[in-house]
Amino acid sequence: MMNDRSRDIGPFVPAPDDDMIVCRCEEITKGEIRRAVHDGMYTVTEIRRWLRAGMGLCQGQTCSKLVKGIAARELGISPALLEPASSRAPMRPTEMKVLGREEGACA
Amino acid sequence: MKRYDLIVIGAGPSGLSAAAEAASKGLRTVVFDENERPGGQLFKQIHKFFGSKEHKAKVRGYNIGKQLLQEAADAGVDVVLNAPVEGLYPDHEVTVRIGDSLRHFKGDAVIAATGASENMAAFKGWTLPGVIGAGAAQTMMNLHGIKPGNKVVMLGSGNVGLVVSYQLLQAGVEVAAVVDALPHVGGYGVHAAKLARTGVPFYLSHTIVEAEGEDRVKGVTIAEIDNKFNFIPGTEKHFDADTICVAVGLSPMSQLLKMAECDVPDDPSKGGQAPRVGAFGETSVKGVFAAGDVSGIEEASSAMIEGRITGLAAAESLGFITKQELEAETAGLENQLASLRRGMFAPGNKGRKITETDEGIALSESLLTQGYVADDEIARFPGVTKQRGIHPVIECTQNIPCNPCQDACRKGCIRIGKDITSLPAVDTDSQCVGCGLCVAACSGQAVFLVDEDYEEGYASVTLPYEFLPLPETGARGTALDRSGAPVCEAEVVEIRTSPAFDHTNLLTMKVPADMAMTARFFRNQKTESEAC
Amino acid sequence: MKQKSEVLIIGGGIIGCATAYYLTKKGVDVTVLEGSDFIGNGGSSRNGGGVRQSGRDPRELPMAMWGIRNLWPGLSEELGADVEYVQEGNLRLGKTEKHKEILTGLTDAAVSCGLEVKMIDEDTVKEINPHLSDEVTSASWCPTDGHANPMAATLAFYRKARELGAQFYTGVPVSELRTVRGRVREAVTPDGIFEADKILVAAGYGSRAIAGTVGIDVPMTERKAECIVTEAQPRMFEQMLGTADADFYGHQTAHGSFVFGGMSGFEAFMENDGTTTSTSYGASCTCRGIMKYFPELASAKIVRTWAGWIDACADGVPVMSRVEEVPGLYLACAFSGHGFGIGPAAGYNLAELIADGETTVDLTPFRYDRFKPVI
């Protein structure tokens, strides 16, 4: 779907709860997320890559719906129109020595 | 690479059901689960389930879990615990952390039964220690025997919020309030009513303004919100509390399916990103199936049926049973599933405001906004009759798929009929003997026995009582009405416990005759200030 | 919607975004079309973040050196966002005599191009990075190399270009280029035709199909590359790392996590299935590689793995070129897995090429028509 990154979403208006942490793993605030949207980060993926929101230990398990909601509100669209965050192995943080000790691997 | 006929990811209700069903058809089946105990959320469900006999209604969740584990073991399912599946790759390959190594397996079919995770709500102070998921609180209490706090504010009035609030009370935790941003109680009215009558206040159209405290939660301020979710100034209410439980819904844990490139659209009616599945749980990737909450948030009962259907479908896809056998075996299961998905809380009714029952009776507005049926509303429901002598009073006022009360009464006093969601009606022609089986059988604790002719000037009220310590016969205390307000003095005249009641005790209290239709809970004098 | 501009850039990676930025800075009217839904969604956000000169092909070295001297140190300030550039050197590590030979060969070639790089012995390596295992016996050392945050850098170029008026559209794949009266003029998309006086194709491997519609081919292939990232670790070292054995590369980020890339050996035989899913064994290979060099990272937890597709050129260096035979067409592709470090310099020089016709760094080695039959 074509997404015009210059479309008018109105100005960034500071809000009293801008200092509230939303991504607790990476300590990203609501204000930073809203600001990022106004900086052109119109997708959850770009917000994550720009701010690290959802990139921490829980991989967005806790905050991804919250980030989506904040971004959607800022963009004036339904959260369902924003893409889901991608999922990558490992599902749980795993020590290098465990990943390095494989059994049964085949290319 | 080690290969199985079927790899099931998740040993919860749907995964175990799927594995048991598939293994019974001859599939070499393994279940991997990241937890140290099997059962998913089943073993922390200490309450009785809704539904009908085939749904294991009135059986407590942990007992269903035990039965399911036994069934899987008997069918030869290999359940591997402490084994998080780290990735789901093309060719149905999974990587599993087992001990200190990463092991690779392939399954000819894979069923993801990975369940759901709790949603969080962000408010000022939500990152303070003491703010936890309601499900987490339930795990602490019911699996690990740890009280999550001493005084809790529950955010969310869906079934999770209501059930966990009640279990918090059972664990001796004070529940200061149940708060919900929506204007109506989200969960079953019977769950709300059993909380309200113990004195827990409900604040609908309210949400949390702030969790207070420096290094942990010390208090909570809530306020009313308008229909645009903005706080209404001047409506703030403060509670001292050390814990906030958040019960604002669940999200499917569909990460593995997304990684495997299944089509996983965002579907609010399913609670979030749930795989697109066919009638048998098949995803868009051949040989990969999904069952239970991961394919859409529902109840454990429906998850178990979905699991069975999916297990059979996996068996059919690999040639262990024929298409005809699959259809024959799943037909009954589909009917069971369909009956669970009926009634006012059916997935299709999500977000819809319902004002009357199927029978055409106006719903209790008080139940929806305050958690209890008001005195002047209760008489209009068919379970509530006025009779001489002892008789059941069934305060079940919403169409939910549940009928154990009908089967419990051997005298034919209670009638639901063919339609499992119909409101139970009391047949005044049948003679109640006061056995109390209906009281114990009701998963919603909505059945009472009332005898208005108990003694000259006094009535007796028999109520389900699931708190410890049990008051003794002769104990004096206060009767509370449906709202939890003290209404009169009461004396415990009988306490009945029986294996048949399955830990639901029957407390009979004597109250002034005019309180027969008002008094619905007993508070012991000795423990007045503390929960028991 | 505006469908006409002076310059149309196809591809919203670091090359497209940097070129757009430097063009808008010159006052050129630019539109960028990104085929995927996200800016910087290809190699630009999937690479290991190296900003190196050492180890590069001599044809590419002048561009790398110029960028490190002139652009990278001031980039955060210029773009108004921290791109996490760290210039603390690059160690390329060896464990065997054969490794030492490889490293010495690379070093000699770079020195002859004027790069300050040298071979160092075991003790010196340990002085620079005391966390290395005793297996490491030699290294090449280039003190002016470093690393940066690829996602931040790409998005910072995008943000700044957008702020200066460049139009960006995502989710707009180009299926065809069309010429009008002998000049390339139109890009066909599902959302209509975008017109421009000049068109730069900077769409990674996707450039091949797009340029092919006007009869231009660049010999390249796709190769999967995989990365892993750890949870944040206490600060250990600041250098960029690589190895003679190519078993891993990476660095510790400003965030504290380590980003590492590695190889399994099967990369050349993987077909692009349209996904960026890691293989089931790639992360494990990389972990084994790293632990031989850094035993103390054995307990560091990997929180995520990812993969991307490299547009690997037949001769291993990029194409950055005007296409004279199709007037108005410019190509910037086939960066072969080392486009990030030279990304800003490439963008700067491409902007010059497109706007002025003259470039600061000689782009002759990167011409599109340099591929001649050898037999």
Q: Which of B102, B106, B258 best tests the C interface by mutation, with the highest count of C CBs <10 A?
A: B102
Is the ipTM value over 0.95, yes or no?
Answer: yes
Per residue in A75-101, pLDDT (tens digit) is 999 998 999 888 999 999 999 999 999
How would you class B214 by CB atoms within 10 Å of its CB: exposed for 0-12, middle for 13-18, buried for 19 or more?
exposed
Residue B272: phi and psi, rounded to 5, are 145, -140
Q: Is B35 on the interface with A (CB under 8 A)?
A: no
Of residues C127, C169, C159, C156, the one with CA closest to residue C37 = C169
Q: How far is B517 from chain A (nearest CA, A)?
A: 46
Q: Tell me which residue in C273, C275, C280 faces B87 most closely, judged by beta carbons.
A: C280
By CB atoms closer than 10 A (0-12, 13-18, 19+), residue B157 is: buried
CA distance A61 to chain C (A): 13
Sign of the torsion formed by the C-alpha atoms of C290, C291, C294 and C298: positive
CB-based burial, C56-91: b 16+ in 10 Å, e otherwise = bbebbbbbbbbbbeebbeebbebbebebbbbbbbbb
> DSSP characters for C291-327?
HHH-GGGTTPEEEEEEEEEEEEETTSS-EEEEETTST
The whole-angstrom separation of Cα C175 and Cα C188 is: 6
pLDDT at A105: 87
Q: Shortest Cα distance from C118 to chain A (angstroms)? A: 31
Q: Scanning every residue of chain C, which has its alpha carbon at the shortest distance from the alpha carbon of A57?
A: C303
The CATH classification of domain C4-48+151-220+315-371, taken from the options 3.50.50.60, 3.40.980.10, 3.30.565.10, 1.25.40.80: 3.50.50.60
- Whether A8 and chain B come into contact, CB under 8 Å, resolves to no
Q: Do A2 and C288 touch (CB under 8 A)?
A: no
Residue B92 with chain C: CB contacts under 8 Å: none
Residue among B100, B117, B120 whose CB faces A66 most closely: B120
Of all residues in chain B, the one with the smallest CA distance to C279 is B89
Q: Residue B284 in contact with residue B193, Cβ under 8 Å?
A: no
* A94:B117 CB<8 A: no
C253 in contact with chain A, both atoms CB, cutoff 8 A: no
Give residue-wise pLDDT tens across range A28-84. 999 999 999 999 999 999 999 999 999 999 999 899 999 999 999 999 999 989 998
C316 residue type, one letter: G
pLDDT for position C82: 98
**In this complex, which of A3, A46, A56 lies closest to C171 when CB atoms are compared?**
A3
* pLDDT, averaged in runs of 10, over chain C (375 residues): 89 98 98 98 96 94 97 98 98 96 94 95 96 96 98 98 98 98 97 97 98 97 96 97 93 97 90 91 96 97 97 97 98 97 98 98 98 89
Give the closest of A45, A96, A102 to C297, CB-based. Answer: A96
Q: Judge whether C179 is closer than 8 Å to chain B, CB to CB.
A: no
Mutate to test the interface with C, among B95, B96, B100, B288 (most CBs of C within 10 A): B95
A80 Cα to chain B: minimum distance (Å):
6
Q: Which residues contact A8 (CB under 8 A, 6 or more apart)?
A: none
Q: Does C272 touch chain B (CB under 8 A)?
A: no
For chain A, domains (ranges, CATH) are 21-99 (1.10.10.1100)
Chain B nearest-CA distance from A4, in A, is 22
> How many residues can be counted in chain C?
375
Residue of C nearest to A35 (CA): C159
Torsion of CA B64, B70, B76, B81, to 10 degrees: 70
Q: Show Cβ contacts of residue C306 under 8 Å, excluding neighbours closer than 6 positions.
A: A88, C46, C226, C227, C276, C278
Smallest CA–CA distance, residue B20 to chain C, in Å, is 28
Q: Which residues of C touch A105 (CB under 8 A)?
A: 280-281, 284
Q: Which of C1, C2, C16 is nearest to C199 (CA)?
A: C16
Question: Model's pTM, two decimal places?
Answer: 0.95
Contact partners of C by the rule of 3+ C-beta pairs under 8 A? Answer: A, B
Sign of CA dihedral C366, C370, C373, C375: negative
User: Which helix or strand (DSSP H or E) is residue C25 part of?
Assistant: helix C14-25
Q: Do C280 and A105 touch (CB under 8 A)?
A: yes
Amino acid identity of residue B480, one-letter, is: L
- Residue B54 CB coordination number (10 Å): 13
Bond from prior residue into A90 cis (ω within 30 degrees of 0) = yes
The dihedrals phi and psi of C222, each to the nearest 5 degrees, come to: -105, 140
How high is the pLDDT of residue B460? 98
Q: Are the C-beta atoms of B465 and B455 separated by less than 8 Å?
A: no
Which residue in B95, B102, B259 is closest to C277 by CB distance?
B259
Rounded Cα distance, B236 and A77, in Å:
31
Provide CB contacts within 8 A for B455, sequence distance 6+. B510
- B210 CA: distance to closest CA in chain A (Å): 11
Contact C231 A93 (CB under 8 A): yes
pLDDT mean for each 10 residues of chain B (532 residues) = 97 98 98 95 92 88 93 97 96 96 98 97 96 97 96 98 98 98 96 98 98 97 94 97 98 97 93 96 98 95 96 98 97 93 87 90 97 97 94 97 94 93 94 95 97 96 96 96 97 96 96 97 72 42
Distance, CA of C277 to CA of C225 (rounded, Å)? 10
Across the interface, do A103 and B255 touch by the CB < 8 Å criterion? no
Find chain B residues with C-beta within 8 A of A98's C-beta: 97, 100-102
Domain boundaries, chain C: 4-48+151-220+315-371
* Alpha helices for A1-107 (secondary structure H): 30-38, 44-51, 64-75, 96-100
Chain C residue nearest residue A84, CA to CA: C37
In which element (H, E) is residue B491 found? Answer: strand B486-496
The CA distance from A16 to the nearest CA of chain C, in Å, is 24
How many contacts (CB atoms, under 8 Å) link B and C? 15
pLDDT for residue B532 = 41
Within 8 A of B123 by CB-CB distance, chain A residues are: 20
